[in-house]
A and B are shown apart, each in its own frame.
Chain A
Amino acid sequence: MFTSLSDRLSATFKNLRGKGRLSEADVDATIREIRRALLDADVALPVVRAFTGAVRERALSDEVSQALNPSQQVVKIVNDELVGILGGQTRRIQFAKRPPTVIMLAGLQGAGKTTLAGKLAHWLTSEGHRPMLVACDLQRPNAVNQLQIVGERAGAFVYAPEPGNGVGDPVKVARDAIEVAKTKLHDIVIVDTAGRLGIDEELMRQAADIRAAVNPDEVLFVIDAMIGQDAVTTAQAFNEGVDFTGVVLSKLDGDARGGAALSVASVTGKPIMFASTGEGLTDFETFHPDRMASRILDMGDVLTLIEQA
């Protein structure tokens, strides 16, 4: 395992202790450790750069040089900046004024869209809604069956008029679904789509067409917490392609540090709304920026360190 940020910072801070003021060299040494920690946590390089730049500027300002304990102050700045980016605009699902509320899911292959569809349906049902799931992945083998099973488990109706496995037009299914929801009095429509690459122009256009056909209240971009540097390119491609309204970070039950959260939030400015934390129907929660900041930076230890500093 890589040494944690707290290990590295404690080494740096040892030299700082008792000095009172931070020199520019002290700050730079600290910034180097923070940079390394962010990279190890898979925060994308351009984001690391912008982030450390902002931290450096604040660390050299009066707020730090006049603080009682400057090194402690630097760590606090890092944490604040991180939480700021991650949680700038946390918000809840936007419901349509006139039902049905339409939620579309999009993301790379295997990100966790179909599983999330079931989780959303289960959660919204428990909140008194009558969600309907729509099978618009007509590409991947048995994606339709998977959604049907997931829907059954969640106790939600699944609109799946096409068999999939290459047969059927997903844009038509999406469009028809809205009428079906209205006649069957479903107040929420959750549209599952096929996984696609950011660079696949044809499939990205299809996703945009699905979006146009259903005019969703929310487009959720589902991204795997294990993703590395590609998070930026992918988030930008989906942002341009389907103009998503919120982000869901999946597989957070793993041990990935999840730096992608920072990358995506920072390059798109879109809020991270939910965390997916398992394969079960209820493994799903509101996203917590402070917990994510600690996770990315190994901050649990860092905060103890502040107390010692």
Chain B
Amino acid sequence: AKSNSTLGRGLLSLLSQDTLDEATWEEIEDTLLLADIGAGPSAELVDRLRERVRVLGTRDPGTVQALLREELLALVDPQMDRALNVDGEQKPAVILVVGVNGAGKTTTVGKIARVLVAEHRSVLLGAADTFRAAAAEQLATWGSRVGVETERAEQEGADPASVAYRAVERGVQEGTDVVLVDTAGRLQNKVGLMDQLGKVKRVAEKPLGGRPVDEVLLVLDATTGQNGMQQARVFAEAVNISGIVLTKLDGTAKGGIVVAVQRELGVPVKLVGLGEGADDLAPFDPEEFVDALLR
């Protein structure tokens, strides 16, 4: 396994030393920084930890390690409900998937469809990315891979909102369990594109008779640094995010930015992406996530 400490030592070995000195505290902060937790939150965490250590009067590195894990876990909040909201009273449940360019939206739609199909639900995909070259084909390939149909525009450049509308409308007519709507990647500082996304959501809700979509999933790439926060804020403002999917956790990035994102938005990370295959999707596990951060 690769070491993620700059100094190649790793936090755990450091904490197994028998004294707590300044260097140790610095190393703890470094570990958090390297996981993309962010400078502000990392400093706060270390301060809080120092205070607790002072109050407890402990000098035992093992205790400090346990406290750090505990603090992080509390931040990630294991109590949050992380289930996908697909079992509402009314059919279809509609899931809208949004995020910046290349984050892993289309792949995630394919993987979620796979899970839902395995649970014997009927699923329909909506290709509301009418912009990127071959985006609809990519989604349709995923659809056929997992055995579900894809509603798509006749031609490239069509109105994404109307594709979303048609997918949801078809889901209503056919009594589909879940409609998954893929959207085009967009950077959050593009006002026009963010407005368009708001419209996609509003129009997709029309066939639902005033009921909002059941889930809006923000897809965040685990390699994302501090900009992830800005992504979360602006997307949440545009379409009211209900859950986060953290992709590409199979790489070396830790995805620490989601800690701050979750706290800011008050919505949970629900799923993690662990590869490019159809089965590389897993529920978010707070303990696993925290242990990986500290590794």
Q: Are A254 and B225 in contact (CB under 8 A)?
A: no
Q: Are B33 and A39 in contact (CB under 8 A)?
A: yes
| Bound: A153/B276 CA distance, A | 28
- If A108-B251, A110-B221, A229-B34 touch, whether A255 touches B138 (CB-CB below 8 Å) is no
Is B252 interfacial (CB 8 A cutoff)? yes
Is A111 interfacial (CB 8 A cutoff)? yes
Q: Within the complex, which residue of B132, B142, B223, B251 is in contact with A199, where a contact is CB–CB below 8 Å?
A: B251
Q: Are B227 and A142 in contact (CB under 8 A)?
A: no
Of A75-83, A120-128, A143-151, which binds chain B?
A: A143-151
Q: Which residues of A contact B188 (CB under 8 A)?
A: 254-255
Q: Which residues of B contact A282 (CB under 8 A)?
A: none
Of A18-26, A175-183, A256-264, which binds chain B?
A: A256-264
Q: Which residues of A contact B54 (CB under 8 A)?
A: none
Is A234 interfacial (CB 8 A cutoff)? yes
Q: Are B230 and A224 in contact (CB under 8 A)?
A: no
Of A9-17, A40-48, A52-60, A97-105, which binds chain B?
A: A40-48
Is B40 interfacial (CB 8 A cutoff)? yes
Of B56-64, B87-95, B99-107, which binds chain A?
A: B99-107
Q: Are B276 and A229 in contact (CB under 8 A)?
A: no
Against A, the Cβ 8 Å flags (1 = close, 0 = not) of B224-266 are: 1111101000000000000000001011111001000000000
Q: Within the complex, which residue of B141, B187, B189, B223 is in contact with A227, where a contact is CB–CB below 8 Å?
A: B223
Question: SS class of chain B's interface: helix, strand, loop or mixed?
Answer: loop
Q: Which residues of A contact B187 (CB under 8 A)?
A: 251, 253-255
Q: Which residues of A contact B145 (CB under 8 A)?
A: 141
Q: Are B251 and A228 in contact (CB under 8 A)?
A: no
Is A89 interfacial (CB 8 A cutoff)? no
- If A108-B251, A110-B103 touch, whether A256 touches B225 (CB-CB below 8 Å) is yes
Is A36 interfacial (CB 8 A cutoff)? yes
Q: Are B141 and A229 in contact (CB under 8 A)?
A: no
Is B133 interfacial (CB 8 A cutoff)? yes
Q: Are B137 and A145 in contact (CB under 8 A)?
A: yes
Q: Are A145 and B227 in contact (CB under 8 A)?
A: no
A43 nearest CB neighbor, chain B only:
B225
- If A108-B251, A111-B102 touch, whether A142 touches B223 (CB-CB below 8 Å) is no
Is A230 interfacial (CB 8 A cutoff)? yes
Q: Which residues of B contact A39 (CB under 8 A)?
A: 33, 38-39
Against B, the Cβ 8 Å flags (1 = close, 0 = not) of A218-257 are: 0000001011111001100000000000000001011111
In the assembled complex, how far is the CB of residue B255 from the closest CB belonging to chain A, in whole angstroms? 9
| Bound: A87/B36 CA distance, A | 26
Q: Are B134 and A146 in contact (CB under 8 A)?
A: yes
Q: Which residues of B contact A255 (CB under 8 A)?
A: 187-189, 227, 230
Is A139 interfacial (CB 8 A cutoff)? yes
Q: Which residues of A contact B230 (CB under 8 A)?
A: 255-256
Q: Are B223 and A230 in contact (CB under 8 A)?
A: yes
Q: How many residues of A contact B (CB 8 A)?
A: 47
In the assembled complex, how far is the CB of residue A113 from the closest CB belonging to chain B, in whole angstroms? 10
Q: Which residues of B contact A142 (CB under 8 A)?
A: 134, 137-138, 141
| Bound: A7/B190 CA distance, A | 26
Against A, the Cβ 8 Å flags (1 = close, 0 = not) of B8-37 are: 000000000000000000000010011110
Q: Are A257 and B227 in contact (CB under 8 A)?
A: yes
Q: Are B102 and A141 in contact (CB under 8 A)?
A: no
Q: Are A254 and B252 in contact (CB under 8 A)?
A: no
Q: Are A230 and B252 in contact (CB under 8 A)?
A: yes
In the assembled complex, how far is the CB of residue A275 from the closest CB belonging to chain B, in whole angstroms? 14
| Bound: A36/B41 CA distance, A | 12
| Bound: A199/B104 CA distance, A | 19
Q: Are A165 and B141 in contact (CB under 8 A)?
A: yes
Q: Within the complex, which residue of A2, A49, A143 is in contact with B40, where a contact is CB–CB below 8 Å?
A: A2
Q: Which residues of A contact B221 (CB under 8 A)?
A: 110, 224, 226
B31 nearest CB neighbor, chain A only:
A45
Q: Could you write out 12 A-B pairs with CB less than 8 Å apart?
A: A109-B102, A141-B137, A141-B145, A142-B141, A148-B134, A197-B251, A228-B226, A233-B252, A253-B190, A254-B100, A255-B227, A257-B227
Report, nearest first, the 10 A-B pairs whose CB atoms are least far apart. A228-B225, A110-B102, A42-B225, A230-B253, A256-B227, A149-B133, A146-B134, A145-B134, A141-B141, A39-B39
Give A residues with C-beta under 8 Å from B: 2, 36, 39-42, 45-46, 49, 108-112, 114, 139-143, 145-146, 148-150, 153, 165, 197-199, 224, 226-230, 233-234, 251, 253-257, 259-260, 279
Give B residues with C-beta under 8 Å from A: 2, 6, 30, 33-36, 38-40, 100-104, 110, 131-134, 137-138, 141-142, 145, 187-190, 221-228, 230, 248, 250-254, 257, 276
